[in-house]
Structure 1
């Protein structure tokens, strides 16, 4: 009988060139039919990404440190224990301009895809 659950013991480590750790536990990198992505991330101090306008809702829960969001020109800073939902088709920039790493969980629905993130050129 097929089990009706899956324990993720070896998340997919997404290759990055900016020092950020991305461990995708569930998502398109490990399951091409995934409707959701769940990733554990650690953003190093002074890290940032270009602005983007994703075609997915993104939920972020901060475990340790702080993370800065620029959402439609409004600066929002979250600390450990706080969370946010950013609706799809919202222009946003993610960064950690602070002195300590930021550890967080990100959940995207539909699942994160480079085809849907719409990053702006720097």
Structure 2
């Protein structure tokens, strides 16, 4: 009989060049799941990504610190204990322009993929 659950003890650590820690617990890189991805992230002070227009909904829950979102030219700042849903096909930039790191959970439906994120060139 197969197990009806899966405990994730060794998430896939996504290689980055910007100092951000990305640990995918479930998703394409970890278990081949294309329906949902769940990742634990730590963004260092001063971190930012290029604008992107993903083909997936993204939910973010802030564990500690603050994170800045620029959503269709509107600046939104979330703090510990707050969350947000950004609908697919929305232009967004994620950043941590603050002095301390930001720890958060990101959930993407369907799962995150570089093919579907559509990051803009800097």
Aligned to 1:81: 81
Which blocks of at least 5 consecutive residues in structure 2 are unaligned? Answer: none
Give the Cα–Cα distance (whole angstroms) in 2 for the partners of residues 58 and 82 of structure 1.
Answer: 14
Aligned residues: 122
Please give the secondary structure, in 2, of the residue aligned with 1:30: helix
Give the Cα–Cα distance (whole angstroms) in 1 for the partners of residues 33 and 83 of structure 2.
Answer: 27
Question: TM-score, with normalisation over the residues of structure 1?
Answer: 0.99
Cα offset, 1:32, TM superposition: 2.0
Question: TM-score, with normalisation over the residues of structure 2?
Answer: 0.99
Give the Cα–Cα distance (whole angstroms) in 1 for the partners of residues 48 and 80 of structure 2.
Answer: 18
Aligned to 2:7: 7
Give the Cα–Cα distance (whole angstroms) in 1 for the partners of residues 80 and 121 of structure 2.
Answer: 30
Cα offset, 1:34, TM superposition: 3.3
Would you say the 8 A contact 1:64–1:104 is kept in 2?
Answer: yes
Change (3 A) 1:45 1:104: same
- Deviation string for 1:45-101 (max 9, x for gaps)? 000000000000000000000000000000000000000000000000000000000
What pairs up with 1:105-116 in 2 under 5 angstroms? 105-116=105-116
Please give the secondary structure, in 2, of the residue aligned with 1:22: strand
Please give the secondary structure, in 1, of the residue aligned with 2:116: helix
Segment of structure 1 superposing worse, 32-41 or 13-22: 32-41
Which blocks of at least 5 consecutive residues in structure 1 are unaligned? Answer: none
Aligned to 1:23: 23
Aligned to 1:58: 58
Give the Cα–Cα distance (whole angstroms) in 1 for the partners of residues 103 and 38 of structure 2.
Answer: 14
Give the Cα–Cα distance (whole angstroms) in 1 for the partners of residues 14 and 33 of structure 2.
Answer: 18
Please give the secondary structure, in 2, of the residue aligned with 1:116: helix
Structure 1 runs (4+) deviating above 3 angstroms are none
Give the Cα–Cα distance (whole angstroms) in 2 for the partners of residues 32 and 93 of structure 1.
Answer: 26
